[in-house]
Amino acid sequence: MTDLLSATWRKSSYSGTSGQCVEVADYLDAVTAVRDSKDPTGSALVFDRTSFTGFLESVKIGELDR
């Protein structure tokens, strides 16, 4: 399990003012974490580097759109 208590989070540059923001912690040991900025104490998705790259590619091509 990855300890995210000391993680430094940043908002996505694509986050607007609508309140639907994503935050990323990407300077962790071998993983990248993603969370909803409206719920900073809630769950976070944790990816290894390869999986995070695949996740970003899926988002970019719309594969995860509803």
Per residue in 1-36, pLDDT (tens digit) is: 677 888 899 987 777 677 678 899 977 788 899 999
pTM score, two decimals?
Answer: 0.74
Query: How much is the pLDDT for 63?
Result: 93
- The answer to whether the beta carbons of residues 2 and 31 sit under 8 Å apart is yes
Higher-confidence position of 38 and 20: 38
How buried is residue 19: exposed, middle or buried, by Cβ count under 10 Å (0-12/13-18/19+)? exposed
